[in-house]
Amino acid sequence: MKNTISERIADFLKDFPPFNELHAIDLGKFSTEVVICYKEKGETVFELDEAPHSHFYVVHKGAILLNKNSDETIIDLCDEGDIFGLRPLMANETYKMRATAYEDSILYAIPIAAFRPLAQTYEEVGNFLIESFASNTRNPYSKKHQGKLYAEPSGAPSASEPVLLDLQPIRYSKKIVSCSPETSIKSVAETMTKKRVGSILVLEDKLPVGIITDKDIRNKIATGIFPISATANDIMTSPVITYTKNITIAQAQMAMMKSNISHLCLTKDGTTNSETVGILSKHDVMLELGNNPAVLIKAIKRTRKFKKIKPIRFRIMQLLEGYLEQNIPLTLVSKIISELNDACTKQVMQIALRKMEEAPPVPFAWLAMGSQGRSEQLLHTDQDNAIIFADVSEEVHPQTQQYFLELAKCVTKGLRDIGYEYCPAEMMASNPNWCLSISKWKEQVSHWISNPGPDEVLLSSIFFDYNIVYGDNALVDSLTTHIFNTTQQHPIFFVHLASGALQNPSPTGFFRQFLVEADGAHKDFFDIKRRALMPMTDAARVLILSHQIKSINNTAERFEKLAALEPNQEAFFLSCSYAIKALLKFRTKQGLLHNDSGRFIALDKLTKEEKIKLKRTFKTIKELQELIRVRFKVSNLLG
């Protein structure tokens, strides 16, 4: 005779993680041992410090409130399909919180003895339970669980999983052909010919001090610049660009393109201070190439029209999608995609400069702001950019600014042509307010910092994430130094900046439900940018600026730097870093899935597991905003 109750239990559980990972037979078997519990409103499931039960629980109907007896602080509100009470399964300790029925509830008590073998057999089930257990602690992205959470998988994919070719360690030559600095060029050429190699390392005390390639001999000896009697020391390229032997194909390509070289020296520790273990040539890399970043950069640099870049942008999105499917760490993905985005912008600038009738009258710099400035622009979003140009006399300032406005107009049009829409608020270099001389920019930011009203704080929060994409670094360095000097003189600015960081709405309501847009084109959608990403981005900015740290714009890297600067908050700031990566990864996947920016999410299209993973970050956001409020005494300012 069929057990209809167990069938109903199995039918319910199969729609919720982690039970949806189980085979029907296994799910059916243990469902016969599940106990159904009824709890009236206010009734306790377990108390703080109570001995562990032989079951953990799933909410079938109703809601369960988790809190601490000491201060009644709500830790979580579990609703249909949520798991709680995992401590006996994971740690076999007394409960560290209290669970009570928020309303009349029906629970499924899952027997630990019956379920533990399944958690050990099904890897996905075990990982999910670890994550769920971690999310009911103060820090859902704690060090203890680092590498097992959604944001940042540790290590390489398992042997059973395919990996992207360009992120594998590259094969290199271990047969090192070398000479000393005193070796004659004639002898060097003879050795290279005999060994049939295109390069030779110059070693001193077994350490690499230089490298000579076929190109060096052609350009420096055949042209008569140096005689054939010259020594290796005369024509070698020094210092040598070195890396560790586990360099990936993508890293090798990026390194060669960045330094415009054709060979890399591999050493034990990746520096010139350790013994050489191999040599890597551009030819070695080309043999293992597929559709990888360096190939795309090369294709970008060959373009002569804006429209030719657009299909390459499509290939970049394909590359991004492949990285996410392979579960490549978001830190590496962000760096690669950001390099490719910057390469597109640089090429648009080069094309625009060729379109101009005259060369730039003075040095200038093109700044990327917003998500591109933070190296977080993985999807096609709108533009945020600015121009700084060198000071000129008052007489020629109008025509100088007009030149750069015309250039900016051409560049922003080119960026739109390749997929980046115009900024709705016109925060672009084609706007005279965002195309200024270095002195005017200094005056502008001084005004923002010394008169921090709501508009000034908003503009500062957008501008202060800038990153130079093209042009004169000295102009940007000068502005950066000015900003930090001025903020030191006006410390109250940080209080206003912190206040601005707290203005974004909460991601959830009191009872843990997602807060969605109430009206407009995205009514009933969840705004992941405004309610989750921006609170973390804004908080990281004010914290890192208050420490006077320059040149770290990426939000995750800012939190990691804060963890190093504040050891007593290390675990928390690292949890913030993991959370922002999780949110960025989630938004990117949604954007790729729906072919949009990924900002507005239809909650009814998410699985229960996706909602759980998204909510896991919200606890970190709440604690981060509370830290900002207390540290900068925002309530005092507002009061």
pLDDT digits (tens, 9 = 90+) for 431-462: 999 999 999 999 999 999 998 888 888 888 88
- Residue 595 shares a structural domain with residue 512: yes
Asked if residue 595 belongs to a domain, the reply is yes
- Residue 435 shares a structural domain with residue 298: yes
- Residue 129 shares a structural domain with residue 266: no
Asked if residue 466 belongs to a domain, the reply is no
Q: How many CB atoms are closer than 10 A to CB 567?
A: 9
Mean pLDDT of 264-275: 88
pLDDT digits (tens, 9 = 90+) for 197-221: 888 999 998 899 999 998 899 989 9
3-state secondary structure at position 84: strand
State the total domains in the chain.
4
Contact (Cβ atoms closer than 8 angstroms) between residue 590 and residue 598: yes
Residue bearing the bigger pLDDT, 288 or 576: 576
Contact (Cβ atoms closer than 8 angstroms) between residue 293 and residue 336: yes
- Residue 40 shares a structural domain with residue 132: yes
Looking only at the bridges linking them, the beta strands covering 385-389 and 435-437 are parallel
Looking only at the bridges linking them, the beta strands covering 83-84 and 98-101 are unpaired
Q: Which of 254, 271, 287 is the last residue of a domain?
A: 287
104: domain CATH number is 2.60.120.10
175: domain CATH number is 3.10.580.10
> What are the φ and ψ backbone dihedral angles of 403, each rounded to 5 degrees?
-60, -50
What single letter denotes the amino acid at residue 16? F
Sheet holding 242-244, edge to edge: 242-244, 263-267, 276-281
Query: Residue 346: what pLDDT?
Result: 94
DSSP per residue, 135-186? HTSS-TT-GGGTTSSSS---SSPPTTS---GGGSBPP-B----EE-TTSBHH
Residue bearing the bigger pLDDT, 364 or 75: 364
- Residue 54 shares a structural domain with residue 126: yes
pLDDT digits (tens, 9 = 90+) for 293-326: 877 888 888 888 998 898 888 888 888 887 887 7
| Residue 179, both tokens | 């000479």
CA distance 17 to 328: 23
- Residue 238 shares a structural domain with residue 344: no
> What are the φ and ψ backbone dihedral angles of 109, each rounded to 5 degrees?
-90, 115
CA distance 199 to 281: 9
CA distance 187 to 182: 10
Range of the domain at 66: 4-137
State yes or no: pLDDT of 549 exceeds 70: yes
Asked if residue 405 belongs to a domain, the reply is yes
> What are the φ and ψ backbone dihedral angles of 51, each rounded to 5 degrees?
-60, 145
Contact (Cβ atoms closer than 8 angstroms) between residue 97 and residue 145: no
Asked if residue 381 belongs to a domain, the reply is yes
Query: Residue 153: what pLDDT?
Result: 37
pLDDT digits (tens, 9 = 90+) for 122-161: 877 877 776 666 555 444 444 444 433 333 333 333 333 3
- Residue 123 shares a structural domain with residue 59: yes
